[in-house]
Every structure is written in C-alpha cells, then in structure tokens.
Amino acid sequence: MSVLKAENVGISYKVNKQWIGAVREFGITVEPGEIYGIVGESGSGKSTIARGLIRYLPSNGRTEPGSRIEFLGEDISAAPPAQMRNIWGARMNLVPQNPMAALNPSIRIGKQIAELIGAHTDLSREAIMDRVIDGLERVNLADPEKLVERFPHEISGGQQQRVMIAMALSTSPKLLVLDEPTTALDVTTEAVILELVRDLIKEDETAAVYVTHNLGVVAQICDRVIVMYAGEIMADAPVYDLFYKPLHPYTIGLLNAIPQPGQTKRDRPLQTIPGRPPSLADLPQGCVYAPRCPLAIEICQTKPPLEAPEAGRLVRCHRWKELADGSINPRTVYATDEDAIITDTLDEEREPLLELDSLYKYFPTRRTVQDIIKGEKPSPVRAVDGVNMTVNRGRTYGLVGESGSGKTTLSKVVIGLFEKTGGEMILMGVELPAALRGRDRETLADLQMIFQNPQNSLNPYLTVGQSIRRPLMKLGGLSRTEAETEVRRLLKAVNLREEYATRYPNELSGGEKQRVAIARAFASNPMLILADEPVSALDVSVQSAVLNLLARLQKDRDAAYIFISHDLSVVSYLADYIAVMYLGHLVEVGEAQELHQPPLHPYTEALVSAIPIPDPARREDPVLLNENIPSARDIPSGCRFHTRCPRKIGAICETDAPPWRADGEGHYIRCHIPIDELIEAQRKTLPEVEHS
C-alpha cells in the first residue's frame, strides 16, 4: 500500500482579506522506501505543499474542499488537529530547514527527543533514554551520552540537523517530510547529511518527501521528482527521465541554467530563462509558464492538462509530444546569450592590478576569566592569516572555502570596510591605504563591491536612479544631467528598462535588485569588483542571467573580479583562477578549469567531491569531512587542515607547516604530499569530467 496518496490538493492563503491559491491540483503517491523530490523556485509552492501534505498549515492557510490526502489508506484531508496529533510524531515527521530555530533553545537535546518518543510509546524513562542514545548513534553523532545533556546552541549546525534527523526517525515513522534540510549548511556538511538521509531512509523503508530548490541535490538523492512552478505541477517523473528526457520547457530551462561540473564561461554561456515568476494573485490565463516560455504558441493561452506521456510520468505542456519525438531539440529551446560568449584565452599575460603580500586581519577577543588567571593575552581571531595573492587586470578570481574560512573578511579588508592588521596591499603599483578615509577619489572609484543579499544592498528609501546616480556624481565627478544620461545607459547595460530609474527597490524582484546593484558597482568605472556571493540568494532561473551579465560586463569594461562563493560549480564556471582558502590562508591557487582534475589539495578535493552533481547517473560517494572546523582563535599547528584531512600522511602534518608545491604550470598546492603522488592517488577517486 502506498504510504501517502494525494489527489487534486489545493491550498490557499488568506492575504489582505483575499484567498490566494498557493498550490493547485497537486497529486503525489509515495511508496515505502521511496524518496520523492519536490523541486521548484521560491514562490513555486513547494514548501506550502510539504506542510499541506502533513496537514500543518499556518493559521491563514486552508486546504481547499475537494482535496484528497490519504495517509496509510486513511483519509486525512479534513482531519482536525486532534486527530492529526495521533499521527504527527508517531507515523509522520518533519525535518525543517533551519535546525537551530527548530530546536527549543532552553531544553536539553536528550529531553527534546525523549519527549517525542514518550508521547507515542509506553516505555519507561530509562528505555526511552536508551532509544534516544541509539538514535543519536545512528546518525553518527559522537559521544551521545554527553550530547543528550547539551543545549542546542552548544553544537554546530550540522550536528543540530543530525539531531533533528535522529528525532524524526526515533519513532520509526512511515513518512518523513524533509523541507530543504541542507540549505543552511556548508557543502561539506550537506554531503554528509545527504548520504546519511539516503542510507537511513532505505534502511528503514520510510517513505520520504524531499523539498529542495537544488537540482544537484535532487539528482543525488531522489527516486522520483515533481517540478513545481507557480503552484502547479509542471512535470512528474523518475529522476533519471527528468534529467535525461525532460519533456517540459521549464525543466529544460532549469537544467540548462545550471553549470555542469567542469563547464566554464569559455565553453559556452549558460542559457537563461527570461522574465520572472508570476504573482500568485495575478496568474496568467492559460499555461502559467507561457509568459516566460520560448515555445509558447497560440494554444498556450488555454490551460494545458496534466498528461501522462508514459506510465509513471506526468507533464503539463501542450507541446510535450514534439519534445518527446525529438522534433524540438531541447538544447535550442532557449536562446544563447551571444553577448556573453568569451573568446579571449588566458594565454595573454595581463599586468598585475592588486598585489596582496602576507595580509593579516586579526580580530581581538575579550579576555576570559581563564586568560586573566593565567595572565595571558586573549588569542585573537585570526580571520585572515598571511595571504599572498596577485590579481591581474580583467581576470576573475574565484575565492572558495567553507564558512569561517576568512574569505569574506579578506574581501572586506581589500575594500576598506575592515582595516588590515598587517601586510601590504599594492594597487597598480601604489600602496593601498588600509582605511577608507585614507583613500582618494580615484582609489575609491577603482574598487567596488557587489553584495550577497539583494534585499539589503539597495537603500529602500532611494529610487533605483538615485542609487546609481550617487556614485556617478560622487566618484565619477559627473554633473546631474550627465549622470542622468549615464544612469539610463547603465540600466540598459544590465538589461533593465529605463523606467526602472524611478522605481523603488520594493517594486523589484530579487534578480532585478541584484542587476541594479551591479549597475551601481560599475557606475564609477572600477578596475576591481569584489563580489561576495552575488548569486547565492537568487533562484536558479535568475542566477544564470546574472552570471552571464557579469561575464559580459567584464568583457566590455575590462574589470577584474574577486568572486567569492561557496558554490564551486558557479565559481568554476565564472572564474579564470581559483584560490582556495582554509582557516585564514590559501591552500591552493590555480586555473579554474584545473579544479576538476588532479592534482588537488586534499581540502579542495573534499570540496569538489561534495558538490551535488546535477546528474543522477553520477552518484559517487563523496570524500566526507568531519564537521568540526577548528576555531580561527585556535588554529591547528603544522598543516591547518590536519585535524580533518583524509589524506594525512603522518606526524609531519601535525608539526611542520607544509610547503607550497608547484606543478610548473601556475598551479600551487600547499601540502606535504608531492604533486605526483597526489595525482596518482586522486586519479582513482575524482569523478571524470567530460568537456563539451
């Protein structure tokens, strides 16, 4: 019997006294041991349906009459909370996105899990505690006896999420709903959690619904996938078919918008989906995707039915047959952004723009009682701890590393938001003053920044025009009228219409805001732009357009980028060179395209292998790292990575700082293992990359 069977489910929210349909005509059937992915962008309704399926909606939400949700053969579509309480926790559990918020901050971990078990069994206190400890062991948490006494804030995010998983599995539920459980985690931790979830679900024969925006995660973990858009199912298919035989233009768009491992901007530009998702309050008449669909024709003004091209597949598109029989080539559905094609090569040597020479940034910490007793100075946080790096004109440098590696601090020291503690920064042959105050107008104009969060990077009380005009006048020295003209030119350059100049940020979508932020950064004609995770807050379909835009502007304006990201596939797509940072210093520097082949620093190797590859045929076991990243106050001796390194060769790694090793072609690795041996060892483990 299916664990969960839903048909024709509709969910609405009451917003400003009006009911808005967030999900319409949803259906799903989940079998035991099956992981069913629901993938979509923000606003697609994926989280709403996840909560709707377990009948746990916010107070302004309701399940539409006519919806049918069957759980273990029992109709729960209208079950009152009192009835659901017998099911929740016992046979149906949720793993939420943010484990820190989902755990009660003032109750010990053991007690929180025990409460769940206690509510659904008659076990004795001791027996419950035993089960808690067993459960924590199952999710590979070390020292569970001690852990149960801890409070949530005392453990790391990855550990918290394992606690949530242990809790969710502690009553052996029949259905597990996972709502973006790894989105808040580092890629290395994500890999660990994904593997864990996959194994445990298969082992327990649990049925799982896995909600995510990340197609890589879908490919790695799901058996079947539903693609949602604007509250409707666009496609429903086994994971392999979805990736290899996509039948819906939207699915094709999503797949073409993400960089494949090894793909760089020099290979071909990413394809982009034009426009933005519709507002739920104002949906298009026919196909909801029609305004953005390159294949839209006359008939698309009527709503396409959900059809079954073959058993076990559903698609909602009038033209799926043409895609199925090959009369439409999925590769050419979306236009390629010709402007973003890069033709130059890295062979040409460019002159140095910015040189960092043993750059340091320490943050003082408060003295602890122990420090006072021992009479010691408190050890500072060594956020940036001796970085040497050269940035050449017109090139892109990707800076990668887990959170806490110091990459953001490094960029803020260069831009002047933090003042360096030591070392030198040379900009075009001249010493770059540490403080913003000390920098003259030209220097300020030369260095600009693009921030992560488009929500906050524009002042909500200034129009787009005002935001872009300010640097033009202040740094570019333009008059008011000259600046107005330039604003229009810049808006055009970032593919926004002129009338955006008079709009306020709250009238713009996330992607549009980020374009404005990019226009503002380019306003002063900078030589170097620091971009700190500029696309990580954006949806996939918007992300590729912004990446292409960055590539094109670089070509036109010859600006250099330092591009910071946790997403290695994005970095290796856009960057020319990569610098890998770990605990305040660099461990590897080289050309971006070398990132996917040996030799790699063992840390880089782990990062690369942790990327969830958007290809269900390639589910290699990643190199798993433990999550205990040492604190930057207390950096390990010898090689900083030795506490986590899977390739550690012995005591030397703990005592001696490793040397930089060069492969003779501009690729440098800081490790005790010689280059040849690294190549030899990694040839066996690293995934092959096909270059297109």
By the 8 A CB rule, do 594 and 662 touch? no
Q: Which does 335 bind (CB under 5 to 8 A by kind): ligand SF4, other proteins, none?
A: none
Find the shortest distance in angstroms from Cβ 88 to ligand SF4. 37
Q: Which does 86 bind (CB under 5 to 8 A by kind): other proteins, ligand SF4, none?
A: other proteins
Q: Which does 641 bind (CB under 5 to 8 A by kind): ligand SF4, other proteins, none?
A: ligand SF4
Cβ within 8 Å of residue 433, ≥6 positions away: 416, 439, 443
Q: Which does 287 bind (CB under 5 to 8 A by kind): other proteins, ligand SF4, none?
A: ligand SF4
Cis peptide before 599 (omega within 30 of 0): yes
Find the shortest distance in angstroms from Cβ 273 to ligand SF4. 11
Q: Which residue has the tokens 């590729």?
A: 544
Judged by beta carbon, residue 55 or residue 318, the one nearer ligand SF4 is 318
Interface positions with ligand SF4 (CB under 6 A)? 249, 287, 289-290, 293, 295-296, 300, 304, 317-319, 602, 639, 641-642, 645, 647-649, 653, 658, 671-673
Cβ within 8 Å of residue 619, ≥6 positions away: 219, 220
The secondary structure of 109-127 as a DSSP string is HHHHHHHHHHHH----HHH
449 membership: H or E segment, kind and range:
strand 447-450
What is the spatial distance between Cα 663 and Cα 597, in angstroms, rounded to a whole number? 13
By the 8 A CB rule, do 118 and 60 touch? no
What is the spatial distance between Cα 479 and Cα 498, in angstroms, rounded to a whole number? 19
Q: Which does 602 bind (CB under 5 to 8 A by kind): other proteins, ligand SF4, none?
A: ligand SF4
Judged by beta carbon, residue 317 or residue 528, the one nearer ligand SF4 is 317
Judged by beta carbon, residue 296 or residue 592, the one nearer ligand SF4 is 296
Burial class (CB in 10 A: 0-12, 13-18, 19+), 44: buried
Burial class (CB in 10 A: 0-12, 13-18, 19+), 75: exposed
Find the shortest distance in angstroms from Cβ 86 to other proteins. 6
Judged by beta carbon, residue 115 or residue 663, the one nearer other proteins is 115
Interface positions with other proteins (CB under 8 A)? 54, 56, 81, 84-90, 93-94, 96, 98, 101-107, 115-116, 119-120, 151, 153-154, 164, 368-369, 415-417, 436, 439, 441, 444, 447-449, 451-453, 456-461, 463, 466-467, 470-471, 474-475, 502, 517, 520, 524
Find the shortest distance in angstroms from Cβ 449 to other proteins. 6
Cβ within 8 Å of residue 180, ≥6 positions away: 47, 97, 211, 212, 213
Judged by beta carbon, residue 127 or residue 435, the one nearer other proteins is 435
Q: How many residues does the chain have?
A: 692
Find the shortest distance in angstroms from Cβ 114 to other proteins. 11
Burial 222-259 (b: 16+ CB within 10 A, else e): bbbbbbbbbbbbbbbbbbebbbebbbbbbbbbbbbbbb
Judged by beta carbon, residue 361 or residue 648, the one nearer ligand SF4 is 648
Find the shortest distance in angstroms from Cβ 607 to ligand SF4. 13
Q: Which does 645 bind (CB under 5 to 8 A by kind): other proteins, ligand SF4, none?
A: ligand SF4
Find the shortest distance in angstroms from Cβ 251 to ligand SF4. 10
CA-nearest of 48, 40, 41 to 24 is 48
Distance of alpha carbon 98 from the chain centroid: 14
CB neighbours of residue 451 within 10 Å = 18
By the 8 A CB rule, do 193 and 612 touch? no
Judged by beta carbon, residue 504 or residue 668, the one nearer ligand SF4 is 668
HSE (side-chain half, CA atoms, 13 Å) at 88: 14
Judged by beta carbon, residue 523 or residue 673, the one nearer ligand SF4 is 673
By the 8 A CB rule, do 125 and 117 touch? no
Judged by beta carbon, residue 446 or residue 615, the one nearer other proteins is 446
Find the shortest distance in angstroms from Cβ 125 to ligand SF4. 45
Q: Which does 319 bind (CB under 5 to 8 A by kind): ligand SF4, other proteins, none?
A: ligand SF4
Find the shortest distance in angstroms from Cβ 536 to other proteins. 14
Find the shortest distance in angstroms from Cβ 514 to other proteins. 11
Judged by beta carbon, residue 140 or residue 643, the one nearer ligand SF4 is 643
